[in-house]
Structure formats: structure tokens, C-alpha cells
Structure 1
Amino acid sequence: MEMPGALRGVAFFSFVQVSCLAYGQSSITLYGIIDTGVEYYNHAAGGGSFVGVPTLTGEVPSEWGLTGSEDLGGGNKAFFKLENGFAPGTGGFDYGGRLFGRAANVGLETAYGSLTLGRQLNMTAYSLLNADVIGPSIHSLYVFDNYLPNARSDNAIGYMGKFAGLTIGATYSFGRDAAGPAGPSATNCPGQVPGDFLACKQYTALIAYDSSSFGAAVSYDQMRGNEGASAPLTSSDYTDTRSVVDGYFKLTSLKVGGGWIHRSLSAGVASTLYNLYFLGLSYVPIASLVIDAQVAKYIQLRVTSSTGLVARASYFLSKNTSVYSSVGYMINGRNGSTSVAAGGTVEPGAEQVGVMLGVRHAF
């Protein structure tokens, strides 16, 4: 007997619903970190000392986000990520005032790797994740180059493939930074300009290997400027290139990481070269206590050099809540002007001490 049209429609609809249940399993996660405290540093620009709430970061930047994935069957997944960075002291948005300045992307994951579209971390950020034991903290190697903790790209296509211990990744941005007017996380370079294909382009690449006891990474990052963008990249002919080589090894309760960062800025009279070396260790004497220390050396040949030292102790009150103390010391060369604290100021050539006491809660 032939099935009536209405029944055929119901049967088809039921089949689609069952298929969605079988292959369309999805999940969404809300997460975040709130990290702040009180910081102090001496020899601020103009004289005197600073005491107050940090404007940029604590032990780690504060953030909240949504991430989700859907099982497409056959080992394939669709995913998305929306991540906001904010300042706990004021409640304002970081990253140029963007609602989702840390990430806003969607992608597909297969056995051959993942493809991501939208604002995303680029390979410079990934290359530093394991070797830099301090990370984007108030006292860190990132005070020497404020692009490093903001290594994200707008309007980007990204690929990441993991094969056993080997990771291969790359990003290509049609316009690396659409927010403005001031950097480093808002440099007013949206690109995608008709007639100027090079305007605000950026590409990054990564090769890394990680095992249970050691790892290493190499990355390359080149960005271009455009007319109207923040200095010094005010022309699409200008380039800013960074290379990272780093590695780490782990013992039972000790991790040691170090590396080299090279920057070559080609921007007319603002052109410059620098090398930044770092070596750090992380020690866990008991499960609830983590002690970190790191030294970083910044060298701008025939111009200046600076040395930064930091020691940090973090005590976990619970799985999600910790208190910490961070002490930094900056030794500037004669023409050096690197502050010991992220977002801080310093009198040129001065040595500087910075201290922060803070609390971090993750959810």
C-alpha cells in the first residue's frame, strides 16, 4: 500500500529529527577569569611612586567567554568562540573597547586539523604558551614588547593541525586590526582596501613539538601597515616581523622554559631591530603552591638594553580561587625606558621595583 503524502512528510521529519539527535550533539560553555589586586612601583615618569589597581593585567588578564561545539559525525565538529577581555578596576572593555576583543570566531575541526574564521590568536601567541612560565602577567617579558600579549588577528583564516606530538599552524589576515585609534591591541589597521592588496595584511606560521617531558616551538609573524594606521606602520610598504624560538623541559615538580624573540621593524626612520632572551622556571613544592621566576634580557643594538627579573608565588585556596604575590625588578640601560609593570611608566634610565598582591577567581 502506498503511504499517503502527509504520512510520508511526517516520516521524513521524524527521520531528520533522529539524525539530528544522533549527529548533532552540541554543547556550550560559559567560562571566565577575574584577576586583580593592588600594585606598587617606584620611579614613575615625572617622579614619585604609583600605588593603585592595575589597568591592564594581574597574574593573568581578566576575561569571560562562550565556547561551543557540535558533533557533525564521522569525527568532525563545528565550533565557535566568543571571548571578552575587561578591566576589573573599571569594568571597561580592553582590546580597543571591543565586546569580544580576545576572540570572535567559528570553525570546523576534522582529523586533518581545524580551520578557524574570524578574530583569533595567531601563531606568535601559541609559540609562547609553553616556554614562557610567567605568561601575560603584570611583571613579565611582555613589558618589553606589548604586541606579544596581544598577538591576535582580525579578519583572519587560521589552520591548526596536531599529529601525535607535532603541531603545525598558520594564520592569514586580510586586515589585522580593525579597532582604533591607539595600540597595541587597537592600531586602526582594518585593511581590505580596494586597490591596495597589501594594506594591513598579516601572516603567521608555527611548527611545534610537545611530549610529556619536553617541547620546542618556532614561529614567524609578519604584519603590514597602511595610511592612517597607528605609527610606525603608516604605509602598506612598511613591515613588522617577529620570530620566536623557544623550548622547555619538565621534571616531577619543576618546569624550565626559555627562548629567543627577534623583531625587525622596517618603517622608514622608525626602523629598528631588537633581540629578547628569556629563561624561567616553575616549581610546585606542594599541590596548592606554585613558585615562578624568570629573567629577561632586552637588547636594541647600539641603542639600549634592559634586564627584567620577576618572582611570583601563587597559593590555591581552592580549585578555582588563588591569591598571589609578584615582585619585579627592572634594570634599564642609559637610554632604557621599560617599566617593570604592564601599563606602567618609568623615568628614563631608572631602575625600578614593582610589587603586586592579588586574587584570582576562575569559573
Structure 2
Amino acid sequence: MKKHWRLGLIACALAAATHANAQSSVTLYGLIDEGLMYSNSSQTGTVGGAHNGKSQWAMMDGAAGIGGSRWGLQGTEDLGAGLKAIFTLENGFNINTGTLAQGGLEFGRQAFVGLSSPLGTVTLGRQYNPMTDFVFTTSVANSVPGHLGAHPDDIDDLGHSQRINNTIKFKSATFDGFTAAGMYGLGGVAGDVTNRQFLSGALSFASGPLTVAAGYTSARNPNLSYFGTGGTSGPATSDNLGSVGSATAAQSNPVYAGFSSAHSLSIAEGGAKYQIGPATIGAVFSHISFNNLGDLNSGPNPLRYRGTAIFNDAEINGSYAITPSIQVAAAYDYLHGGSVSGAGGSTGGVTYHQGLVSAAYLLSKRTEVYAIGIYQQASGRDSLNQPAVASVTNVSPSSTDRQTVVRLGILHRF
């Protein structure tokens, strides 16, 4: 009798443990993206306004490919009545050196906790812009090219370059094909609730082969609140948008690096895609404005810019699944920036043309090999008030107005 009682107690304990395990879980996941990169022109330095540059072959992590290498933890706990507690901690790293990405932050890609219900999800922490999340799905960056296929210097963040700190984010459940999201970021500055404030909202609709998405973002003091969230970001005296370079270092993000003194940043973008059998066609439009240049509480202004720098970007894209294992994609992007007045007079505006082709072969559900080719041409004067140089996202800018980039890579998900 005593033996049966003990066996029954053990069975109850095992059943309880199994039930508890079913109600909560923690999942380890990740992605490793490695590739061989070729650029026909990469800056090695700038002296007296003249750029030095040479062709380059290099092994580069997926931050300059489909997606940066990462590992993360996702957890969920069932609280009953359809309510769940959730969290995500996601680390970025460079596979070639083993170093941390995002300026050395341990969980620089994402770090948030929240609650999920049948109506939607609320999360708090370091997160992606919901506008970018929604519109990204209609761009070529959501296809084979990934981050490398973003628009010049990822000016509208469709390549998910930016993460926003100290945010509250809500994403609704999907009702009749509609999904909505909003985010508010607190600047945390005593006595001024609007300083470094971040606001964003987005809406998407999906029905059958059609997906449409649109959103709007407003970032106050963007040099600090939007671009200044990495581990190596500096105060208002630093240019967190990019770099003017030096005799021994290349420039970075010359498309917009000169606009760090903007009082605010506004981005409105929308896109649509339509699937026809194995083919998908899409289009995206973005309107970006760096408003009220000259605010030294936001960032430095060595070129003494004033007024507003406005950019309009348009992309058309297409992808095709030749077989379930072979996918190809192509896109053309046009970016135009208006003239800006500064110490050297008006810049006269700038234009970028970018075309790409890509192909991927899926060896399994988790592993693929791929090839991406991009050509970009620039004209006019860019944000550094220099003859515009080509600048493919996450690749060292060209020393000339043209740049060709080719990447052969392998990606593994776990």
C-alpha cells in the first residue's frame, strides 16, 4: 500500500512539472552570416578634400550582408485567461573577430519585457521602430539582399540599423487583415519631457496576395535619441550620425552625416507588395526630413547648416522563386536630397541611383548560400558639402561617385 502511495505521489509531481513546463518556456535562437565581400572602391582616408581609395576584398560579418550575426533568448509564461509574460534578449556579434556589435552592448540588438494578450502586446525596453517593422516587409531588404539591400546609408531605416532605447511599444492583434502599432520613447531629461522624445506609429493590411503598410516617425534631438543609442555613441558634441573621416580613416554615412544638428527627424514611409504565384512585386516610398538644422543641443554643426534637409526615396522591387530552394530578387532605388544652405553656400542637392540583383540557394530550412551584387552612383553635393560619393549601406564609402559591391555568403539559423 505504501509503495503504491509513493508511486502515486511521484506521478503527481511529474504531472505537475510537465504542466508547469508547458506553461512557460525559454528558447535559444540565433543566426550566423558570413561572407566574402568585394568593393571596387573603398575609402582609406581623406586629405584636403581628396579621397584616397582602393578596391578591397574582405571577409565581413552579415552586418554588411543579409543580417548581422546574433544569438538571443525568448521567453514566455502563461499567466492564464489568455495573458502571457514575454521577454527577448538579443546579442549581436562579429563572427570574424568574436567581438560584440552595436558598440559593445551585451544585448545591443533587442532587450525588452512585456505582456501579450488576445488584443495585442505591450513591451518595454530597447526595441525596433514599429514603422520600420511594418514597411520593411514590402521592401527588397525583406528578400534575399537583407541589410545590404537597404537604401543608401539606410537613411530611412528599412535595413533595421537603429534601435530605440527606453521605449514603450504596443502592437495589436490582427483584425480582418489590419494590424496597428505604436511606440513612445522617453528622453529622460529632467525638466523637459520632449527632449530626446521618440514617437512612431504604423498600420498594415494583408489579404491574400496583397500587403500594404505605412508609418510615421518623429524623433526629437535625433543625434542623441535615434542615432546615438550604440555603445560608443557620444554626447551632443559628437556626431553620432556618421563621420567626416580623416587622413587615415574613411568617412561614414556621408549621405546624412552632416545633419547631426537637426532639432528633429521626421520619416513618413509606405509600401505595398503583391504576390503572383512564385513572383512578388513591390514598391516603397519614404520622405525623410532633418528639421531645424543648427540646434547645438542636438549635435555639432561645423558646416553651419540651417533650415531643413529633405530627402525622398522610391524603390521598386521584385523577387521570384525558381524552385522552393532557389530564389532571386532585383530592385532599383532612387534617392534625392534637396539643397541645404550653410557656411559654404547652398549645396544644390544630391541624387543617388542604386540597383541590385541577388540569388539564394536554400540547402535546408536553416542554411542557405547566396550572392548579392549592388551598383550605386551619386551626383551633386552630399551632407558633408563635398562632391557626393557613393555609399552602400554598411560598406566603407567609395572614394568616387560610383561603387560596385559583390558579396558571396553563407547563412545558418539555429
Identify the TM-score tier after normalising by the shorter chain: 0.7 to 0.9
Identify the match of residue 99 of structure 1 among 73, 87, 106.
106
* Residue identity in the other structure for 1:140: A
Distance 1:71 1:141 in 2: 40
Q: 2:161 aligns with which of 150, 154, 164?
A: 150
Q: Equivalent residues in 2 for 1:23-42 (5 A)?
A: 25-42=23-40
Q: Structure 2: how far apart are the matches of 1:101 and 1:168? A: 25
Deviation at 1:151, TM superposition (A): 3.4
Query: Cα distance 1:166–1:230, how it changes in 2: closer, same or farther (>3 A)?
Result: farther
Alignment identity in percent?
Answer: 29
What RMSD over aligned residues (CA atoms) do the two structures have, in Å?
Answer: 2.4
- Give the distance between the partners of 2:393 and 2:170, measured in 1 at CA: 34
Structure 1 segment 157-306 matched on structure 2, within 5 A = 157-162=168-173, 163-175=175-187, 192-225=188-221, 228=236, 230-231=238-239, 232-233=259-260, 238-266=263-291, 267-268=293-294, 269=305, 271-301=308-338, 302-306=348-352
* Partners of 1:146 and 1:50 in 2: CA distance: 27
Partners of 1:19 and 1:108 in 2: CA distance: 23
Q: Does 1:58 align with 2:54?
A: no
Change (3 A) 1:32 1:306: same
1:252 positional shift: 1.5
Q: Distance in 2 between matches of 1:44 and 1:129?
A: 28
- Give the secondary structure class of the aligned counterpart of 1:338: coil
Provide Cα deviations, 1:123-161, integer angstroms capped at 9, x if missing partner: 132123310123443243253517442232111000000
Q: 220-229 or 252-261: which moved more?
A: 220-229
Q: Is the 8 A contact 1:36 1:57 kept in 2?
A: no
2:54 is paired with a residue whose SS is coil
Correspondent of 1:47 among 47, 53, 71:
53
Is the Cα contact below 8 Å between 1:144 and 1:338 reproduced in 2?
no
Measured in 2, the distance between the counterparts of 1:88 and 1:223 equals 32
For 2:58, the aligned partner's letter is G
SS in 2 for 1:195: coil
| Cα shift at 1:85 | 1.5
2:380 and 2:361 map into 1 onto residues whose CA distance is 37
Count of paired positions: 330
Deviations 1:227-253 (A, max 9, x none): 626444558xx1011111111111220
Structure 2 SS opposite 1:127: helix
Residue identity matched to 1:160: K
Pair 1:108-2:115 in alignment = yes
Deviation at 1:343, TM superposition (A): 2.8
Unaligned runs of 5+ in 1: 1-13, 176-191
- Say if 2:172 and 2:181, in contact at 8 Å, map to a contact too: yes
Runs ≥4 in structure 1, deviation > 3 angstroms?
Answer: 17-24, 229-235
Alpha-carbon offset, residue 258 of structure 1: 1.1
- Determine the structure 1 residue equivalent to 2:412: 361
Residue 372 of structure 2 corresponds to residue 326 of structure 1: yes
CA deviation map 1:81-106 (0-9, x unaligned): 01111221222222221111111101
**Change in 2 beyond 3 A, CA 1:76/1:164:** farther
Q: 1:109 to 1:139 in 2, by over 3 A?
A: closer
Q: Deviations over 1:58-99 (max 9, x none)?
A: 222211111011111111111100111122122222222111
Match of 2:80 in 1: 73
Report the CA distance shift for 1:103/1:304 in structure 2 as closer, same or farther (over 3 A): same
Structure 2, unaligned stretches of length 5 or more?
A: 1-11, 44-51, 225-234, 240-258, 295-304, 339-347, 382-387
In structure 2, give the amino acid aligned to 1:81: T
| Aligned equivalents of 1:80, 1:206: Cα separation in 2 | 22
Partner AA of 2:323 in structure 1:
I
